[in-house]
């Protein structure tokens, strides 16, 4: 049975892989993508999301523009991570403007209302859209089957500041509002995929080579990552986007590869056996001089507050990576 899924994205390179993974996964019924400003400005997120879905043969999937800035702060983007346009060295042809008439917020609310208890919303960027949707529809978390959040870090160093992960760092007020809503009960606890587990999955050049082989494609080089001269459009996109992302990780994390946070969150959303979770209370710092955006988990219940999250604390990263390689390889085989 397929799982109805909405993705909230700030497309970016790993968001692109998450979109491709969702399209390539037979158990996922991708209902739409709501876009939020984050890695790049909103207009680039919308254009990138539509372009990736077109490359995957899914121009039928609704792409809706959501919030163009955080709730209470100026937007921060990260061109150094995802490139000036958000897809690294890849410059996918912008598809004709097919962004939805309705906003990303309305896409989320309308879909949850129309299929109560069925839809999984996977938030892969700052939580601005989710927080605004909750403000407009306070029942949202009970109307959804589940909310899955890629974000936060608890026992590992942050990737944006010493204690903060990018998505919660960009919009701490939105993240705090979402966790507060989840703590008011009557919903499945959101699954939280923090850096603690997403950084256990490192996509390396040999994974891309295997993806290409499965997809009937060839690689010119693995370092730097370069597709063969006869590569199809989707293979060229994947290698050109990942080459930029791997260069970034070489500079900042000391390895030529890529943390693939967002597709891991999508994979865990539809296969909870990929992660081990602990139910706890999470809150978000919004006024710290050094720690604004930090996600704080009360694992020892010192606050005495009801749990509001199922935080992934361990993961089967290798199983996920194998699934990512095989499924994207299968998608490559199906695309020109
Ligand atoms: O910290 C990783 C997250 O921030 C991912 O969602 C990535 O796309 C960026 O948005
Ligand atoms: Ca993202």
Domains of the chain: 3-201+257-334 (3.90.245.10)
The one catalytic residue among 89, 169, 249, 261: 261
CA atoms within 13 A on the CB side of 226: 6
pLDDT recorded at residue 185 = 76
Identify whether the C-beta of residue 196 lies closer than 8 Å to the C-beta of residue 293.
no
3-state secondary structure of 144: coil
pLDDT recorded at residue 99 = 79
| pLDDT averaged over 10-residue windows placed end to end, the chain, 336 residues | 96 98 98 98 97 96 97 97 97 79 97 98 98 97 97 98 97 98 89 98 98 96 95 97 98 97 98 98 97 98 97 98 98 92
In degrees and rounded to multiples of 5, residue 102 shows phi and psi of: -90, 160
Does ligand 1 have an atom closer than 6 angstroms to the CB of 39? yes
pLDDT recorded at residue 98 = 79
* Reduced 3-state DSSP string for 107-143: HHHHHHHHCCCCCEEEECCCCHHHHHHHHHCCCHHHH
Q: Which atom of ligand 1 is nearest to the CA of 12?
A: 8
Does ligand 1 have an atom closer than 6 angstroms to the CB of 126? no
230 Cα–ligand 1 center, Å: 31
Report the alpha-carbon distance of residue 261 to residue 163 in Å, rounded.
17
161 Cα–ligand 1 center, Å: 13
14 Cα–ligand 2 center, Å: 6
Report the alpha-carbon distance of residue 323 to residue 95 in Å, rounded.
28
Q: Which atom of ligand 1 is nearest to the CA of 124?
A: 6
3-state secondary structure of 169: helix
pLDDT recorded at residue 97 = 75
Q: Nearest Cα to 235, choosing from 212, 258, 253, 257?
A: 212
82 Cα–ligand 2 center, Å: 10
Q: pTM score, two decimals?
A: 0.98
Q: Which atom of ligand 1 is nearest to the CA of 150?
A: 6
- 89 an active-site residue? no
Pick from 39, 148, 168 the residue to mutate for probing ligand 1's pocket: most ligand atoms within 8 Å of its CB. 39
pLDDT recorded at residue 187 = 80
């Amino acid at each position: 049975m397929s799982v109805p899924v909405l993705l909230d994205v700030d497309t970016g390179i790993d968001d692109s892989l998450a979109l491709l993974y969702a399209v390539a996964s037979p158990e996922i019924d991708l209902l739409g993508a709501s876009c939020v400003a984050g890695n790049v400005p909103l207009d680039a997120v919308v254009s990138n999301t539509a372009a990736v879905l077109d490359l995957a043969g899914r121009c039928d999937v609704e792409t809706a523009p959501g919030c163009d800035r955080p709730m209470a702060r100026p937007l921060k983007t990260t061109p150094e991570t995802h490139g000036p346009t958000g897809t690294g060295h890849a410059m996918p042809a912008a598809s004709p403007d097919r962004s939805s008439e309705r906003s990303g917020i309305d896409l989320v609310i309308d879909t949850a209302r129309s299929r109560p208890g069925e839809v999984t919303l996977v938030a892969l960027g700052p939580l601005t859209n989710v927080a605004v949707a909750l403000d407009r529809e306070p029942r949202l978390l009970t109307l959804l089957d589940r909310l899955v959040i890629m974000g936060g870090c608890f026992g590992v160093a942050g990737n944006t500041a010493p204690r903060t992960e990018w998505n919660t760092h960009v919009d701490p007020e939105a993240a705090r509002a979402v966790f507060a809503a989840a703590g008011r009960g009557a919903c499945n606890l959101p699954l939280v995929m923090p850096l603690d587990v997403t950084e256990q999955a490192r996509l390396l050049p040999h994974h891309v080579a295997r993806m290409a082989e499965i997809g009937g494609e060839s690689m010119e080089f693995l370092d730097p990552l370069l597709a063969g001269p006869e590569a199809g459009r989707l293979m060229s996109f994947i290698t050109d986007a990942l080459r930029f992302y791997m260069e970034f990780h070489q500079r900042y994390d000391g390895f030529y590869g890529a943390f693939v946070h967002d597709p891991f969150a999508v994979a865990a959303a539809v296969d909870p056996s990929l992660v081990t979770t602990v139910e706890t209370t999470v809150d978000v710092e919004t006024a710290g001089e050094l720690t604004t955006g930090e996600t704080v988990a009360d694992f020892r219940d010192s606050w005495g507050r009801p749990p509001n999250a199922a935080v992934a604390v361990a993961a089967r990263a290798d199983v996920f990576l194998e699934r990512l390689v095989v499924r994207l390889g299968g998608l490559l085989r199906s695309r020109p």
